[in-house]
Amino acid sequence: MFNKLCIIGVGLIGGSVACAARKQGLCKEIIGFGRDNDVPNLQKAQHLGVIDIFSLDIDEAVADADCVVIATPVGAIESVLAVLKPFWCENAVYTDVGSTKANVLAAAKRVFGFIPDNLVPAHPIAGAERNGVEASIDNLFVNKRLIITPEKETRCDLVQKIREFWEQLGSQVVIMDASHHDAILAATSHLPHILAFALVDMLGHKDEQSEIFQYAAGGFRDFTRIASSDPTMWLDICMANKMEIIPLIEQLKDELSKIQQFLSNNQTQQLFNTFTYAGKSRRRFLDLFEN
């Protein structure tokens, strides 16, 4: 499918893209790009066989590349596009793996003055507790959703090419508007991460004077697993999508206040109804997930 695949940001996601592409035979050569402080990580990626070679020179890294995958934190997207701009090639397709999409398009407009027609924003809804290239696996995207958010300017043939690329990596591909993507992910991913971070932060401070964590059960571990996610990455995500996240936090505050009132007023039936509705809603989610 590609002769030369360039991965900018060889971490968990970028590394897993490389591993999966190699396993499926989708490219002949994989090169990683990074800055001076990325050398140890890039050397590790090469040693592990995730990439073939690496370069600290962007001109060399993207030369003759027919696919460039930007797998940096979303906060770095604009600076990466600025570095790429002098070497941007109409014969290549450029894509990303960021968890927010409107900011990618906005960054492209600031850097280029328009959205290049060979930029195809994408988001694999996949991850793991561990971070870094050493956590890369070749089946991370199997049976996972992959959302592509093209603009009207985006070349249809390149959208199809990126779609086929991800499908061969095992993903279930969906195409939608970038703003719709950000609204959905704010509710289903970004807010839950904030909840996990907030809860563990609160209980962590309490645990310094007590033994809360000692008696935490499996449910606590499962619910708070995502609090182990990379804080730098999630800082970028939350800042990039804050306009979608803040209203959801307000709604959640209202919901918690309602439950607090039910408890204070001994409104057991209302509390039971809330729990019952939540259970039925989760069952609908599981049915959709299993199907």
For range 174-184, the mean pLDDT: 97
User: At residue 207, does pLDDT exceed 80?
Assistant: no
Q: How many other CB atoms sit within 10 Å of the CB of residue 80? A: 22
What are the strands of the beta sheet with 2-8, ordered from one edge? 53-55, 27-33, 2-8, 67-70, 93-96, 119-120
Q: Can you list the domains of the chain with their CATH numbers? A: 2-177 (3.40.50.720), 181-290 (1.10.3660.10)
* Better-scored residue on pLDDT, 216 or 174: 174
How does pLDDT run across 23-47, given as a tens digit for each residue? Answer: 999 999 999 999 999 999 999 999 9
Q: Lowest-pLDDT range, 85-94, 190-199, 212-221? A: 212-221
3-state secondary structure of 242: helix
Quote the pLDDT of residue 129: 67
How does pLDDT run across 118-166, given as a tens digit for each residue? Answer: 999 999 999 776 788 999 999 999 999 999 999 999 999 999 999 999 9
How does pLDDT run across 52-99, given as a tens digit for each residue? Answer: 999 999 999 999 999 999 999 999 999 999 999 999 999 999 999 999
Q: Where are the beta strands (DSSP E) in the chain?
A: 2-8, 27-33, 53-55, 67-70, 93-96, 119-120, 122-124, 145-148, 172-175
CA distance 61 to 4: 10
Q: Which residues pair with 124 in a beta bridge?
A: 146
CA distance 102 to 96: 12
